C-alpha cells in the first residue's frame, strides 16, 4: 500500500450520460463505466468479505438488480465510499481496486492487462 500508481487516480467520478452506470475518468485518460451492481457485489468491507480468510461472505444473488449509490464520498485521496440503496455504507473502494475492477474490454476486467479491444458483438 506504499506505492500507488498515480494513473489510478480519478479526475472525475459521476454517473454515465444515461445515468445507468458509474463513470470514472482516470488521470491516464482511461474511462471506466461500472454497472452499480458490479461494484456492490465487489464490496471489500468486513461485512462482505471475511477478513481472516479473504472469502466473500456476500451472496451476489442477495444484491438487488436495481441497486445504485445514493451518495458517493471521497475517503482521503485514495478511495471512495458509497451509500447504497440497500442501506449498505461500509465499503471503501480504493482507486487502484476500482481500476482493477474496470469491466471494459481493454482492461479485461482485472489487472489492467492491455489487450487489443475486440470488435463489438
**Where do contacts with Zn ion occur on this chain (CB under 5 A)?**
32, 43, 45, 47-48, 91, 102, 104, 106-107
Distance CA(67)–CA(17), nearest Å, equals: 18
Cβ neighbours around 79 below 10 Å, total? 17
Closest C-alpha among 12, 17, 51 to residue 31 = 12
By beta-carbon proximity to Zn ion, the closer residue of 2 and 22 is 22
| Cβ 63 to Zn ion shortest distance, Å | 10
| Cβ 113 to Zn ion shortest distance, Å | 10
Q: Which three cell numbers stand for residue 58?
A: 456476500
Give the position of cell 487516480.
Answer: 9
| Cβ 48 to Zn ion shortest distance, Å | 3
By beta-carbon proximity to Zn ion, the closer residue of 2 and 54 is 54
Amino acid at each position: 500500500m506504499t506505492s500507488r500508481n498515480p494513473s489510478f487516480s480519478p479526475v472525475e467520478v459521476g454517473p454515465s450520460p444515461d445515468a445507468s452506470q458509474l463513470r470514472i475518468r482516470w488521470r491516464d485518460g482511461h474511462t471506466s463505466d461500472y454497472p452499480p451492481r458490479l461494484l456492490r457485489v465487489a464490496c471489500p468491507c468486513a461485512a462482505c468479505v471475511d477478513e481472516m480468510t479473504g472469502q466473500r461472505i456476500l451472496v451476489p444473488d442477495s444484491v438487488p438488480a436495481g441497486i445504485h449509490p445514493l451518495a458517493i464520498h471521497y475517503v482521503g485521496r485514495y478511495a471512495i465510499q458509497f451509500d447504497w440503496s440497500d442501506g449498505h455504507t461500509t465499503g471503501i473502494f480504493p482507486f487502484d481496486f476500482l481500476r482493477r475492477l474496470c469491466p471494459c474490454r481493454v482492461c479485461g476486467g482485472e489487472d489492467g492487462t492491455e489487450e487489443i479491444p475486440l470488435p463489438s458483438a
